[in-house]
Structure 1
Amino acid sequence: MPDIWITVATGSWIALVFLLERLRPADCPPRDNGRRIARNLGLGVLAMTAAPLLLWLAGSIAGGLGPVIPLAALGTAGAIAVQLLALDLWTYGMHRAYHRVPLMWRLHAPHHLDEFLDASSAFRFHLAEICLSAAMRLIPAILLGITPWTMLLFEAILMANATFHHSNVRLPAAFERALSWIIVTPSIHWRHHHAIRQDTDSNYTAIFSLWDRLFGSANPKPREIGMKIGAEGEHERSFGGLLMYPFTS
């Protein structure tokens, strides 16, 4: 699929989720929701400007070195499928590290300081976290010979599902329960954003929900509408405060 169609498909999906959460909201947005969305999208502009360039660079470096583990015997489609699964597993491991390593948590915490969740929350990442994550993706890229195109394809899928599982869309309960066995849904990820650290330190996976079940970090409790969202013991910051958060005591 040409790069332009990946962009169009991802952008259309994100726009649809933004529309659905206004037509079928699960929870009532706060009064200052416009300011909150502006903060989130402001961080997102910085992060999303850098992310594609950094991921393309990582894929280009890996492509120039050649794979440590060749996948040519699987064919093009098979190799891409394995690479996408490996990147999702890698993202799960990195997310878990962001919660366990204090210095990495400083970079990740601005994402969790959001006190309400909707599609805009999927863009709320500190630029320093985006840079570190992109640099660390060099490891699976070199191991498996992941091309720049596949890196960007994974990022598009990741962004599309992150928009969905952060969203404030009300879904039929039976449908969401069935879907949650395959991919991360709002019910799974909202629990990860509960302002109780025990819940925050669970449900790390980004796309395929099996990683949490496989590695013992799945939280069986679904989201509860009205539960407190945020980081335990912390509070929301201004846009400038979010930018400075990793560098303050």
Structure 2
Amino acid sequence: MAENTNNNDKKEGNVLAGFVLYKDANMDWARFKKSLKDDWGIETDDEVKDNALVFHTEGMVVACSLMPNPVPNKEAEECAKNNILWKDGAAEVSKHQAHVMMAVMNKFDGMEQALLFAKIAYSLLKLDNAIGIYKNPTVYEKEFYMNFAETIKNDELPVPILLYTGMYLAKDGLCAFTQGMTFFGMNELEIIDSKQQPDQVVSFMFSIEEYVLSEHVELKDGETIGFSEEQKLPISVGDGVSIKGITAKIGF
């Protein structure tokens, strides 16, 4: 469908960060470390100091630090409103009283870094008092994030938690867009003024995202794309409508 490209070896040292939200500050570090080992085969002998754990794995540095207070300025509550799939997200997120700042550093491959981030987040979310994870520009509900992270065990890409997919109703139809493709060295994706139903638009976006990321393809201006012989959807590449920068827009 499109030319293979792999720009994952961009600048090193990128930080991938997020905030795991908890109902209280009772942090079960032992259970977190047990999940890392049992679920992902990640072992660390590093000790928790001042409610923080820093360790090396897969050639990267992981840092997790407990903050016994909510994320400042209602930032998490506001960003929870961006989650189109979590209706009560903002209300649930407002219950958090503590958070763990987590970061995966020393990127040498965008996808490997993103997958390690998902594994660490999964094990932090496994704790009973976890609510969800705030990863700009949205907050993912605990079960949603964990269910997709589980698919990594089957060598699947958990696309809905690797990228943010936004959607809104414009004057002439539904618009959808991604945030996060540039991390993997690719253009963000957009659908502009679709006449399809919201669930169809979201499902289609997830499918396109998975195809582009798993096959490392570049969507080119003037080409078409489709998931069947009959489906030939036009691609246009240019300035973004919903987001800044160059985007690949698919006529859907």
The alignment's TM-score, normalised by the length of structure 1, stands at 0.29
RCO higher in structure (CA 8 A, sep ≥6) = 1
- Bigger strand fraction: 2
TM-score, normalising length from structure 2?
0.28
